[in-house]
């Protein structure tokens, strides 16, 4: 099979023959809120036949996104698998490496690509600039943008405009974030993913685990919020215990994980073959038996998580107790009124209405605790436990290996 | 292979390229518009005072060229550069790349433009046309110098400089993991979990050991000449396995195993507790 004819085919057909434009009923607005605040919502990403998005159409798309139609089960995304290109893998790894050298632990960016049947293909990505709440850091000239000033929507639009000219996919299909081990399931994560998912139904959050890369493995995991959780969160004021029970949102049901595979084009594989000798890395660094620090770190996250759960439980119990007291006092007052009414009826006077209850005599209760938080924390703990079990399994395997080598 | 040329007369200029750059160039090349044969773009990175230029990122720039002229979309170049700079302020323009098999006349004009953007632009030429007669890709790097008769006609000439591959550890590890995609029918590389990784590493190790054993066997049966260098490294290899007697080794393995078992027990217990807690709260 001639490489040249293959490559020419790709160039001349300019990818339209197997990369259909992204067609989806809902307009693709998108927004993002991450870090410590919420960025603005932005519209954009037009169909390939339309001219570049003008300000008016952007605003319109933003409105469309803000008033997204009610989400029902038929809208559940049909994506079963995420396919990444090697290009994206390298870009994310490089981005993290460079950010890490300047001390930033969380690294985020956008993902671009398209959806095809049951596959979500990620073909390109672009990092977000470093953001920080610290005014001083922002003005120090190292390119750190203060959160308030960072216009995420405009940034995203700029990238998309430029990508379109380069004939690269410009449709946002999600975002990526680095995380230390399994520690990514925070409130901000869920909120950001919610915003993306509302805009683009198939949006995924790609989590990159750089700790594994230093041991010679690659770990990318793709998540999206379960339809139940999306339903729950779309009605912001009503995130309480009852709704959660109705929608059956529990810690196993918060996020869905999608399998990720990496695929490269033929030419890219040729390039990788060329690089095989010159870009060497220790293929066996992962076989080191020194897993102690790793396990320690995981245990520590686990124990902090447990403490948080304990706190949440006690908060909940306190709330329950005070609610009971409130109820009881209310009942007492009601009984008193009924009794009064009986007496008054005997004496021929008018009965008191229930409004006569003196509300100020009732004990105070605080706000009910946010129901989603403990579920989130327990889901995170579940991730920790899985990660720990995996590491344990791996260490055990290595021990067996060492034993085999020693006695043969 | 990468052609290491004589370093240019004005100091040992050297270009180091990261695999990210190369993969991106290939991607841009594949996506080029129908009527274009080549793509060009900007190289981003850093250069140090000793003359080493490192290219860590790149982006392609729409352009058009003919026999003797070239036009680049300068606005686009600037806009993209600004975007990249926001994301990573440490990267600056260090040169430009082009695909193709040889330097063409319009390249001088483009190089001229880039000399205005950066102090001493490096031009990288990538020949991605691979076929049966020419199965290797070619990567070359050049800088430009003026030459000619002083005082009279002057011209510009591209002088080849050394080009090397370099990568961050993360990038190198990623590249290595992706190598397995070559042998797969669907070109898919699935990411293994922890145990899977140990398994594949063990398989690789055993394969390498088999090769070594085969070599030793062939030397012993006089089929191959013994290489003393190789023999010495082999002896070193065998000696690095720490010599412990069975008891000590067993003790060590047992205590580690006990630790691991305890961890997995605790973790499973925490997990059951979580589920239990959940049920309680839901009531």
CA distance B18 to B182: 21
Range of the domain at B232: 192-241
Q: Among A47-51, A390-394, B186-190, which range has the highest average pLDDT?
A: A390-394
A217 and B27 within 8 Å at the Cβ level: the answer is no
Mean pLDDT of chain B: 79
Whether the pLDDT of residue B119 is over 70: the answer is yes
Q: Do A278 and B90 touch (CB under 8 A)?
A: no
pLDDT band with cut points at 50, 70 and 90 for residue A39: very low
pLDDT at A53 over 50: no
User: For position A68, what pLDDT does the model report?
Assistant: 35
Share above pLDDT 90 across residues of chain B, in percent, rounded to a whole number: 0
DSSP helix/strand/coil, B108: helix
Residue B185: inside a domain = no
The predicted structure's pLDDT at residue A282: 67
**Are the Cβ atoms of A264 and B267 closer than 8 angstroms?**
no
Q: Nearest chain B Cα to A143, which residue?
A: B89
Q: Is residue B135 part of a domain?
A: yes
Nearest-CA distance from A245 to chain B in Å? 7
Least confident of A98-102, B65-69, B172-176, B210-214: A98-102
Are B37 and B152 found together in one domain? yes
Given a cut of 50, is residue A1 above it in pLDDT? no
Do B53 and B145 sit in the same domain of this protein? yes
Reduced to 3 states, what is the DSSP secondary structure of residue B245? coil
Q: Which two tokens stand for residue B177?
A: 């993991």
pLDDT at B5: 39
Asked if residue A399 has pLDDT above 60, the reply is: yes
Whether B195 and A145 lie within 8 Å, measured CB to CB: no
Identify whether B197 is part of a domain.
yes
Contact B205/A216, CB-based, under 8 Å?
no
Same domain, B258 and B230: no
Chain A residue with CA closest to B268: the answer is A385
Q: If pLDDT is split at 50, 70 and 90, which confidence band does A37 have?
A: very low
**CB of B185 less than 8 A from some CB of A:** no
pLDDT for B11 beyond 70: no
CATH number of the domain that B142 lies in?
3.40.140.10
Nearest chain B alpha carbon to A286 = B198
pLDDT given for residue A353 in this prediction: 67
* CB neighbour list of residue A186: distance below 8 Å, 6 or more residues apart: A376, A380
Distance CA B86, CA B82 (A): 6
Q: Which of B83, B201, B253 sits opposite A158 (nearest CB)?
A: B83
Please indicate if any CB of chain A lies within 8 Å of the CB of B176. yes
Whether residue A56 is predicted with pLDDT greater than 70 in this model: the reply is: no
What is the ipTM for the molecules in this complex?
Answer: 0.80
Contact in structure between B151 and B3 (CB atoms under 8 Å): no
Are B143 and B233 within one domain?
A: no
Residue A57: per-residue pLDDT: 32
Q: Test B267 with A392 for CB contact under 8 angstroms.
A: yes
Residues B154 and B19 in one domain: yes
Number of domains chain B contains: 3
> Cα–Cα–Cα angle for A23, A24, A30, nearest 5°?
110
Q: Cα(A13)–Cα(A306) distance, rounded to whole angstroms?
A: 56
What is the mean predicted confidence (pLDDT) over A179-185?
A: 75
User: Do B203 and B125 fall within a single domain?
Assistant: no
B260 located within any domain: yes
Predicted confidence band of residue A104 (pLDDT cuts 50, 70, 90): low
B194-220 vs B228-240: helix crossing angle, rounded to 10: 140
B:131-170 residues touching chain A, CB 8 A cutoff: 131-132, 135-137, 164-170
Choose among B24, B26, B181: nearest Cβ to A267. B26
Q: Is the pLDDT of residue A240 over 60?
A: yes
Averaged pLDDT of chain A:
69
Query: Measured between beta carbons, which residues in chain A are less than 8 angstroms from residue B193?
Result: 390
pLDDT digits (tens, 9 = 90+) for A338-387: 888 888 888 877 776 666 666 666 666 666 666 677 777 777 777 777 77
pLDDT for B45-102, tens place per residue? 888 877 788 888 888 888 888 877 788 888 888 888 888 888 888 888 888 888 888 8
For residue A15, the model assigns a pLDDT of 30
**Looking at the domain assignment, is residue B183 inside a domain?**
no
Whether residue B88 sits in one domain with residue B59: yes
**B210 and B273 assigned to the same domain:** no
In a domain, residue B179? The reply is no
**What whole-number percentage of chain A has pLDDT above 90?**
0
Do B56 and B102 lie in one domain? The reply is yes
Count Cα atoms within 13 angstroms, Cβ side, for A125: 30
Is residue B112 situated within a structural domain?
yes
| Contact criterion met (CB < 8 Å) for A216 and B197 | yes
Residue closest to B13 by CA, chosen among B124, B107, B175:
B124
Mean pLDDT of the A60-85 span: 55
A148: nearest Cα among A260, A300, A38:
A38
From A77's Cα to the closest Cα of chain B, the distance in A is 22
Q: Which residue of A lies nearest to B267 if distances are taken between CA atoms?
A: A385
Query: B151 and B283: one domain?
Result: no
Residue A319's pLDDT band (boundaries 50, 70, 90)?
confident
Question: Would you give the end-to-end CA distance of chain A in angstroms?
Answer: 45
Question: Is A10's pLDDT higher than 60?
Answer: no
Give Cα separations from A80 to A39, A77, A264, B185, B244 (angstroms).
Answer: 29, 8, 19, 20, 50
Confidence of residue A152 (pLDDT cuts 50, 70, 90): confident
Per residue in A185-194, pLDDT (tens digit) is: 777 888 888 8
**Phi, psi torsion values for A176, nearest 5 degrees:** -125, 160
Q: Which of A111-115, A354-358, B188-192, B235-239 is most confident?
A: A111-115
Candidate from A92-106, A238-252, A332-346, B83-97 with smallest mean pLDDT: A238-252
Going by pLDDT thresholds of 50, 70 and 90, the confidence category of residue A22 is very low
Distance CA A77, CA A119 (A): 11
pLDDT over threshold 60, residue A47: no
Q: Which of B62, B137, B202 sits opposite A165 (nearest CB)?
A: B62
Residue A7 binned pLDDT confidence (cut-offs 50, 70, 90): very low
Interface A-B: count of C-beta contacts within 8 A:
297
A386 Cβ contact partners less than 8 Å away, ≥ 6 residues apart = A182
Q: Is residue B2 in a domain?
A: no
> What are the tens digits of pLDDT across the range B219-269?
888 777 777 888 888 888 777 777 667 787 788 878 888 888 888 888 888
* A64 band by pLDDT with thresholds 50, 70 and 90: very low
Q: Which residue of A has its CA nearest to B205?
A: A284
Q: Does B101 touch chain A (CB under 8 A)?
A: no
pLDDT score recorded for residue B209:
82
Find residues 196-235 of chain B whose CB sits inside 8 Å of chain A.
197-199, 201-202, 204-205
Between A59-73, A201-215, A298-312, B134-148, the lowest mean confidence (pLDDT) is in A59-73
CA distance B187 to A268: 11
Residues B277 and B142 both lie in one domain: no
- Report domain extents, chain A: 55-275, 310-407
Among A35-44, B171-180, B271-280, which stretch is predicted with the lowest mean pLDDT?
A: A35-44
**Residues of chain B positioned with their CB less than 8 A from the CB of A89:** 174, 178
Between A384 and A5, name the one with better pLDDT.
A384
The reported pLDDT for the residue numbered A159 is 85
Q: How many helical (H) and strand (E) elements, i.e. helices and strands, does chain A have?
A: 12, 12
Query: Strand, coil or helix: what is A108?
Result: strand
For residue A70, the model assigns a pLDDT of 37
Sign of CA dihedral A214, B200, B180, A127: negative
| pLDDT beyond 80 at B208 | yes
Least confident segment among A57-71, A263-277, A391-405, B214-228: A57-71
Confidence category of residue B14, pLDDT binned at 50, 70, 90:
confident
CB–CB contact B202 A381 (8 Å): no
Question: What confidence score (pLDDT) does residue B198 get?
Answer: 75
Band (A9; pLDDT cuts 50, 70, 90) = very low
Provide the terminal-to-terminal Cα distance of chain B, rounded to the nearest Å.
Answer: 69
The CATH class of A55-275 is alpha beta
Residue of B nearest to A214 (CA): B170
Question: Does residue A17 register a pLDDT over 80?
Answer: no
B148 pLDDT band (50/70/90 cuts)? confident
For residues B157 and B275, membership in a common domain is answered with no
Average pLDDT over residues A103-108: 68
């Amino acid at each position: 099979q001639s490489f040249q004819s293959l490559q020419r085919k790709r160039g001349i057909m300019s990818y339209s023959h197997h990369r259909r434009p992204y067609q989806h009923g809902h307009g693709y607005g998108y927004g993002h809120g991450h870090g410590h605040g919420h960025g603005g919502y932005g519209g954009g990403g037009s169909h390939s036949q339309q001219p570049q998005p003008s300000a008016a159409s952007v605003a319109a798309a933003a409105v469309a996104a803000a008033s997204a139609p009610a989400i029902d089960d038929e809208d559940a995304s049909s994506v079963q698998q995420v396919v990444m290109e090697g290009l994206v893998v390298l870009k994310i790894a490089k981005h993290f490496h460079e950010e890490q050298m300047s001390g930033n632990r969380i690294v985020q960016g956008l993902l671009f690509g398209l959806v095809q049947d049951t596959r979500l293909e990620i073909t390109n990505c672009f990092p977000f600039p470093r953001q920080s709440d610290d005014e001083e850091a922002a003005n120090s000239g190292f390119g750190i943008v203060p959160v308030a000033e960072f216009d995420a929507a405009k940034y995203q639009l700029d990238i998309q405009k430029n990508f379109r000219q380069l004939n690269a996919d410009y449709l946002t299909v999600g975002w990526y974030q680095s995380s230390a081990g399994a520690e990514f399931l925070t409130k901000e994560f869920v909120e950001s993913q919610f915003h993306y998912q509302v805009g683009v139904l198939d949006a995924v959050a790609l989590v990159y685990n750089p700790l594994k890369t230093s041991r010679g493995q690659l770990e990318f995991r793709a998540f999206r919020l379960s339809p139940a959780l999306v339903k729950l969160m779309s009605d912001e004021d009503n995130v309480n215990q009852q709704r959660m029970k109705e929608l059956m949102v529990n810690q196993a049901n918060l996020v869905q994980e999608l399998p990720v595979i990496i695929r490269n084009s033929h030419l890219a594989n040729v390039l990788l073959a060329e690089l095989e000798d010159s870009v060497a890395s220790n293929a066996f660094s992962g076989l080191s038996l020194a897993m102690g620090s790793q396990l320690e770190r995981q245990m520590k996250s686990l124990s902090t998580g447990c403490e948080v759960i304990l706190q949440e439980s006690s908060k909940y119990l306190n709330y329950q107790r005070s609610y009971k007291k409130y109820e009881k006092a209310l009942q007492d007052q009601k009984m008193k009124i009924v009794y009064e009414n009986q007496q008054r009826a005997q004496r021929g006077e008018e009965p008191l209405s229930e409004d006569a209850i003196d509300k100020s005599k009732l004990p105070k209760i605080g706000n009910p605790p946010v129901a989603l938080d403990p579920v989130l924390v327990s889901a995170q703990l579940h991730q920790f436990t899985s990660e720990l079990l995996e590491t344990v399994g791996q260490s055990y395997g290595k021990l067996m290996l060492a034993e085999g080598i020693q006695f043969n | 292979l990468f052609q290491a040329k004589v370093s240019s007369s004005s100091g040992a200029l050297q270009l180091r390229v990261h695999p990210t750059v190369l993969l991106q160039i290939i991607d841009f090349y594949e996506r080029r518009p129908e009527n274009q044969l080549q793509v060009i773009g900007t190289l981003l990175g850093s250069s140090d005072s000793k003359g080493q230029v490192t290219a860590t990122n790149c982006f392609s720039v729409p352009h058009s060229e003919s026999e003797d002229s070239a036009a680049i979309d300068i606005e686009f170049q600037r806009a993209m550069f600004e975007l990249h700079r926001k994301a990573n302020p440490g990267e600056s323009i260090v040169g430009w790349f082009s695909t193709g098999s040889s330097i063409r006349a319009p390249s001088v004009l483009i190089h001229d433009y880039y000399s205005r953007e950066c102090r001493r632009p490096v031009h990288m030429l990538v020949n991605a046309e691979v076929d049966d007669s020419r199965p290797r890709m070619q990567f070359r790097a050049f800088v430009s110098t003026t030459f000619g008769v002083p005082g009279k006609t002057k011209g510009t000439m591209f002088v080849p400089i050394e080009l090397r591959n370099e990568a961050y550890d993360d990038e190198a590890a990623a590249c290595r993991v992706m190598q397995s995609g070559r042998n797969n029918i669907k070109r898919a590389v699935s990411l293994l979990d922890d145990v899977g990784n140990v398994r594949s590493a063990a398989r690789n190790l055993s394969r390498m050991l088999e090769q070594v054993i085969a070599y030793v066997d062939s030397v012993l049966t006089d089929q191959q000449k013994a290489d003393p260098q190789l023999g010495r490294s082999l002896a070193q290899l065998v000696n690095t396995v720490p010599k412990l007697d069975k008891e000590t080794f067993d003790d060590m393995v047992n205590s580690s195993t006990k630790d691991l078992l305890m961890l997995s027990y605790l973790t499973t217990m925490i997990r059951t507790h979580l589920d239990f807690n959940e049920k309680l709260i839901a009531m």
